[in-house]
Structure 1
């Protein structure tokens, strides 16, 4: 698993990525009719979407373990770096997925400050394992092929999230409102 310092840095970077949220706006058509917030919807949402995130974390573990042979103490820095990057990127991207009922980046885009903060953190997070900071934290540089796998995992995560979001909206007639 990741070291405590990795988790702290990952959490700090994620928090920084969310600094753009106050400048974001809601889709205009979402505001056309008044809505009453139902807090039970958030709990239901977490129970449905939470396991999906865990599934893709486990998939990342399997790729690191079997494809990149990060399965010995000698390679723990590689495993930690791969998990650090996937975890940070997936939790940062998911914000764009859940902020709208529409297709993110296509039908609805976040405000520029949120786009800059999230994609800036994604870039920083992807670079850390290659940097002196990452190496001082025990991370190993990730092979280029890892990023192809990561891209496949993240795109799959986004697609499944969008599918589940569509199902959720049809079933419960609302989206986190």
Structure 2
């Protein structure tokens, strides 16, 4: 790593002695090099830069550097520095050279980006599920999912989410620092939560129609009161749809780019495949009886598959609309 200084001027500590706070704020914007400074002057320069709106890093290893190290947004010392310098610093370098700081910044931005991915997926899914259950409880004369099925839903859908921390990060997320913005997350939660809820409600209506009509397009009819066996089939369909949709939607919302332009990590893909296979396996295994699932035929599962494909495409289109119109506001 090279330190390149372009233009500007050098300022000595003696030249700063007669400046007031406003004068110092102006000088720190014009000068690139400060030399022969007292500990108080180092601290004043750091504070002036912060007051001008800069995020300030300071490197030092001596007793005289401690006040500035403590005041800086990021104080950096070395392992061979004085005890007070190391106590005042935020980062202590165990190796010589600044490339380790750059590597640490890259890892920090990766961690932040993947944390935001997890939060976005979780809060939007939870908001959507809450809204869907609230709406469905008003119109359906039976529980859309039993308590044990909801717990199983949460357990299986969370398996791939444990791998989000290992996910690859787009170059655009590493290029510049990102800030924690609650308002942006709130917009994301409401927007995609509502998209999820609308599609869940459409899925419910679709399942009821086809269960009542025996999957005959010519005999579609709406009857909310289903028999016990039909309720099992409905819950099975919605369980499969809700679990798999929550798994596949992460591939749309994990990047602002088209999903095929950003490759996810191998572990995330592997755990997603495992969770999807496990979801389907559960309803055809002896566990189906324990969770009160039906064992639907291939035609039913094909309909669920088409619903999932439609949901993913709608989410992908909604994502581009969100980043184009909503987030920019």
Structure 1 length-normalised TM: 0.90
CA distance in 2, matches of 1:138, 1:170: 44
Asked if residue 95 in structure 1 is aligned to residue 250 in structure 2, the reply is: yes
Structure 1 moving runs of 4+ over 6 Å:
none
RMSD: 1.7
Between Structure 1 and Structure 2, which shows a larger proportion of strand residues?
2
2:205 is aligned, of 42, 62, 65, to 62
Q: Tell me which residue corresponds to 1:139.
A: 293
Question: What is residue 37 of structure 1 aligned with on the other side?
Answer: 180
Within the alignment, does 1:14 sit opposite 2:169 as a pair?
no
Query: 1:30, CA displacement in angstroms?
Result: 2.6
1:23 to 135, 141, 166: 166
Question: How far is 1:115 from its partner?
Answer: 0.7
Matched, 1:152 2:295: no
In the TM superposition, 1:101-140 aligns within 5 A as 101-104=256-259, 106-140=260-294
Q: Identify the residue that residue 167 of structure 1 maps to in structure 2.
A: 321
Structure 2: state its 5+ residue gaps: 1-143, 215-225
Deviation, structure 1 residue 52: 1.1
**Which one has more relative contact order, counting CA pairs under 8 Å at least 6 apart?**
1
TM normalised by structure 2 equals 0.50
| Alpha-carbon distance in 1 for matches of 2:171, 2:313 | 24
Q: How far, CA to CA, are the matches of 2:177 and 2:171 in structure 1?
A: 12
- Equivalenced residues, count: 173
Rg (Cα) greater in structure? 2
Structure 1: tracts of 5 or more residues without a match: none
1:75 paired residue number? 230
Contact 2:229 2:294 in 1 (8 A): no
